[in-house]
Structure 1
Amino acid sequence: MKISEVVEALRAEFPALSVSKLRYLETEGLISPHRIGNGYRRYSQADVARLRFALTAQRDEYLPLGVIRERLEDMDASASAPDPAPVARVVASRGRAVEGADMSLEDLRALTGASEADVNELISAGLIAADARGRFAPQALRITRLALEAARLGLPLRNLRSVRTSAERTADSIDQATRPARRRSATAAEDSATRLAGLIGELHGELLHLAVRALS
């Protein structure tokens, strides 16, 4: 399903759901839709089931997203328990890593081809980090792949620290811009922050391409 189709399918149950809210839940690690060649998201029925579970817990139990994510992770990691319908697993019961789930260092290396030195370099640069259990969030997978591709094209991994610093500065600016909205509505502030992040990301890309063309 396309992202707009997912919103339409769930809107009767969750009238406040929006495309930006859906993207925000993805950045929080609750879902990990498949990306097709042009980068567009495609959602499976399992993704929709996980969304329904998360949105219901948020609406009916007033749970923060961190707690909801932990519940999903516990369900995913419990190989002996029956499938927690309607929530589909994202980790195979035999322990095989799949994309869209938290992963160990070994899983991350297996899925990206990174060496242990590569991973340590990315951790040192602040691009990825393991949690208290030594596991990496799903976003670490794409970050690692992008970083390795940049390194293959001649940009050392250690030089990517500036990218992380730039992202953090931009996030601070977005936080300041959406702070007034947060006092009125946390959901509205999340939507605004997500839209701003997307716009600034596109703007940064355009300016970067202009700057690179100016080098020639």
Structure 2
Amino acid sequence: MRQTPSGGAGNGAAADPGLMSIGAVLNVLREEFPEVTISKIRFLESEGLIEPQRTPSGYRKFSAGDVERLGQVLRMQRDHYLPLKVIRGHLEAVERGDALPLPVLSRQGDGDVPEPVPEAPTAARIGRSRLLTAAGVDERTLAEWESYGLLAPVEDGVYDAEAVTVAGLLTELGRFGIEPRHLRAMKAAADREAGLVDQVVAPLKRHRNPQTRAHAEARTKELVALTVKLHAALVRTALGVRLP
């Protein structure tokens, strides 16, 4: 783990002219990474990739080294599609003085040219009869779920494979007396969350760089994971429930 530079939150960090606010850092990074956001910078901090100093009032202050490190992290995500855990381990090894090559997930043969970035794969599909069998329900139940918008075919008689997971959860909730009509608000909330995620990744999808466009899928998965965690935490907080 990186050590926070000397002169931290209680030692006049705000007065150091060499330190930058998070907004200033965002402006610097956006020259190379137009899709980066303040939320992304805060997320990388929460994952231990950077440790900015703090002013006595709690504001983040970034050194030139912090900004350089952020650029390295974002570059490895964008150009090499490395997960944060791998990136963190690589940077920590470099800081220890270990001369390690950058991890590579896939290469083309024995040469030095990376494989072309593949197009986003088509999501797996499942037919209606297979969905009924996998979920253990009949046509009437599936039709009821569809009438409330909880499940919908992507084309005639064909569903996204995630429909199996949704069907299983609907069945489990039904055992507690929670009926499809009770879940309309949850579906509406999920649609709004999906719209928010799509709004964030839309600039990536429109970017001229094909690697940046391909990176939109990884960014979408990252945001989905965060929204699911937040949703679960908010429900637990509202109910006053703490899970082990």
What is the TM-score normalised by the length of structure 2? 0.46
Deviation at 1:64, TM superposition (A): 5.6
Deviation at 1:137, TM superposition (A): 2.2
Q: Partner of 2:12 in structure 1?
A: none
2:132–2:139 Cα contact (<8 Å) kept: yes
- Determine if the alignment matches structure 1 residue 169 to structure 2 residue 189: no
Q: Deviations over 1:165-211 (max 9, x none)?
A: 11111111112222333343212332222211111110110110111
Q: Partner of 1:40 in structure 2?
A: none
Aligned equivalents of 1:63, 1:142: Cα separation in 2: 25
User: Compared with structure 1, are the counterparts of its residues 19 and 118 closer, same or farther at alpha carbon in structure 2 (3 Å cutoff)?
Assistant: farther
Deviation at 1:18, TM superposition (A): 4.2
Q: Partner of 1:132 in structure 2?
A: 155
User: Compared with structure 1, are the counterparts of its residues 132 and 192 closer, same or farther at alpha carbon in structure 2 (3 Å cutoff)?
Assistant: closer
1:121–1:158 Cα contact (<8 Å) kept: no
2:119–2:214 Cα contact (<8 Å) kept: no
Structure-to-structure mapping, 1:58-137, within 5 angstroms: 59=116, 65-66=121-122, 102-137=125-160
Deviation at 1:17, TM superposition (A): 4.0
Aligned equivalents of 2:153, 2:203: Cα separation in 1: 32
1:102–1:138 Cα contact (<8 Å) kept: yes
Q: Deviations over 1:86-141 (max 9, x none)?
A: xxxxxxxxxxxxxxx63333322222221222101111122222243412221111
Bigger relative contact order, structure 1 or 2 (CA pairs below 8 A, ≥6 apart) = 1
User: Compared with structure 1, are the counterparts of its residues 63 and 130 closer, same or farther at alpha carbon in structure 2 (3 Å cutoff)?
Assistant: same
The structure richer in helix per residue is: 1
2:120–2:217 Cα contact (<8 Å) kept: no
1:196 aligned to 223, 228, 231, which one?
Answer: 223
**Partner AA of 2:121 in structure 1:** L
Q: Partner of 2:80 in structure 1?
A: 16
Q: Partner of 1:39 in structure 2?
A: none
Aligned equivalents of 1:163, 1:148: Cα separation in 2: 15
User: Compared with structure 1, are the counterparts of its residues 149 and 19 closer, same or farther at alpha carbon in structure 2 (3 Å cutoff)?
Assistant: farther
Q: SS in structure 1 opposite 2:126? A: coil
**RMSD, aligned CA:** 2.7
2:144–2:180 Cα contact (<8 Å) kept: yes
Q: SS in structure 1 opposite 2:134? A: helix
- Determine if the alignment matches structure 1 residue 159 to structure 2 residue 182: yes
Q: Partner of 1:205 in structure 2?
A: 232
Aligned equivalents of 1:146, 1:152: Cα separation in 2: 10
User: Compared with structure 1, are the counterparts of its residues 156 and 110 closer, same or farther at alpha carbon in structure 2 (3 Å cutoff)?
Assistant: same
More moved, 103-112 vs 160-169: 103-112
**Partner AA of 2:232 in structure 1:** G
Structure with bigger gyration radius: 2
**Partner AA of 1:204 in structure 2:** H
2:150–2:180 Cα contact (<8 Å) kept: no
Q: SS in structure 1 opposite 2:234? A: helix
Q: Partner of 1:147 in structure 2?
A: 170
**Partner AA of 2:183 in structure 1:** L
Which sections of structure 1, spanning at least 5 residues, go unmatched?
1-14, 21-57, 70-100
* Percent pairwise identity: 26
User: Compared with structure 1, are the counterparts of its residues 19 and 123 closer, same or farther at alpha carbon in structure 2 (3 Å cutoff)?
Assistant: farther
Aligned length: 129
